[in-house]
Amino acid sequence: AISLGAVFMGAMTYIGNGPNFMVKSIAEQSNIRMPSFFGFMFKYSVPVLIPVFILVTLLFLLDGSPFK
């Protein structure tokens, strides 16, 4: 449970998200357009992460686990 929480929710911490802030800062200093927080969430994160989380849940957390 601890490792699953770290994998799923690690990017929600400042330690896990620190490299992302650094890349965003470097890109903005180079005058590269970066999406806003909500623009990134709705354009990239939700369409990719929600299906991945559902797939991982179905594969590994339900009773029909492939590693029985």
The dihedral over CA atoms of 66, 2, 6, 52, expressed in degrees to the nearest 10, equals: 30
User: For position 63, what pLDDT does the model report?
Assistant: 67
Name the pTM for this structure.
0.49
Q: Cβ contacts of residue 8 below 8 Å, gap of 6+? A: 53
Is the distance from CB of 16 to CB of 10 less than 8 angstroms?
yes
Q: Distance between CA atoms of 43 and 20, rounded to whole angstroms?
A: 17
| pLDDT tens digits for range 4-60 | 777 777 766 667 677 888 888 999 999 998 888 788 888 888 888 888 888 888 887
Residue type, 11: A
Instruction: Single out the residue of 41, 59, 39 nearest to residue 50, CA to CA.
Output: 41
User: For position 1, what pLDDT does the model report?
Assistant: 66
